Amino acid sequence: MNTPGDSRRSALARIVTAGVGLITAGLAGLVGLVATPRASGPTKKWRKAISVLDLVPNAPTSAVVAERHSDGWYETRKQSVIFVDRDGDGYRALSAVCQHLGCRVHWDDGAQQFKCPCHGGIYDREGRVVAGPPPRPLERLNVRVNPKTSDLEVEL
């Protein structure tokens, strides 16, 4: 049997439940907002990689490209490893990041291949996948020679 008191009580119960729900949702939303990383814009620039004179003959030369890097509150230098190689009359620059899971590939001089130590990915000298799990070739970077300094610069 419904009395006016009962329906008032159930209406109030709904209001209180909704209120608690709102507070919970608000707090969860706040945490979600703060915890979601903001997308950073593209920061590609021409950066100095290595002097043309320092290239090793007959093998890709590894070079470290350093850039200032803000990692949240932490100011640091981001260092990326790339491989620079002669390509006909020009140059070829490959990122050393394995396209499988992001480990660092190294050049195996004996096999003339890039090898990833993690899950056995293998690329040829031009960065094409030869074997293993990588889904894509090594990332090819734009490269140019600075005529004043003879430095190879890559867009990174």
Partner 1 sequence: MNDKLRDLLAWLDDRTAFRTIRHHLLDEPLPPGTGWWFTLGSVLLFGLGVQVVTGIALALFYAPTPDHAWESVRFITTMIPGGHVLRGLHHWGASVVVVAALVHLVRVVFFGSYRKPRELNWIVGLILLQVILAFGLTGYLLPWDQRSYWATVVAINISKLTPLVGESVAALLRGGPDVGALTLTRWYALHVLVLPPTLAGLVVVHLYLMRRQGISGPVKARPGQPQPFFPYQAGRDLLMSIAVGVLLAALAWKGAPPLEPPADPTASDYVPRPEWYFLGLFQLLKYFPGKLEVIGALVLPGIAMTLLALLPWLDRGQSREWRARRTLLSVFTAGLAAVATLTLLGARDKPGSTSTGWNVRELAGAALMASENRCVRCHKPDGLAAPIEAGHVGRPADWLAAHVVDPEVIAPGLREPPEANQRDTAAIVAALARLRAESPPALDPSTAHLHVVVNRTCLGCHLIDGVGGTEGPDLSDVGSKYDLASIERRINNPVDVKPDAEMPAFGGRLTTEEIHAIAAWLAAKK
Residues 65 and 102: their CA atoms lie apart, in Å, by 17
Shortest CB 72 distance to partner 1, Å: 4
Interface residue with partner 1, options 117, 142, 149, 155 (CB under 8 A): 117
101 lies in the site for partner 1, by CB under 8 A: yes
Compare residues 8 and 119 and give the one whose CB is closer to partner 1. Answer: 119
Assign residue 55 a region: left if phi > 0, alpha if psi is -120 to 50, beta otherwise?
Answer: beta
CB of 100 to partner 1, least distance (A): 8
CA–CA separation, 67 vs 76, rounded Å?
9
Contacts of 118 (CB under 8 A, 6+ apart): 98, 100, 101, 103
Q: How far is the CB of 6 from partner 1 (least distance, A)?
A: 31
Q: How many CA atoms lie within 13 A of 52 on its CB side?
A: 17
Cβ atoms of 130 and 123 closer than 8 Å: yes
Smaller CB separation from partner 1, 91 or 100: 100
Q: Which of 45, 119, 128, 140 binds partner 1 (CB under 8 A)?
A: 119
Q: Closest CB to partner 1 among 133 and 145?
A: 133
- Pick from 2, 3, 5, 37: which binds partner 1 (CB under 8 A)? 37
Report the C-alpha gap between 44 and 61 in whole angstroms.
Answer: 22
Cα separation, 116 vs 1, in Å, equals: 75
* Nearest distance, CB of residue 29 and partner 1, angstroms: 15
The C-alpha atoms of residue 68 and residue 96 are separated, in whole angstroms, by 19
Q: What minimum distance in Å lies between the beta carbon of 74 and partner 1?
A: 4
Where does this chain bind partner 1 (CB under 8 A)?
35-37, 39-40, 56-57, 62, 64, 66, 71-74, 76-81, 96, 100-106, 117-120, 129, 132-135
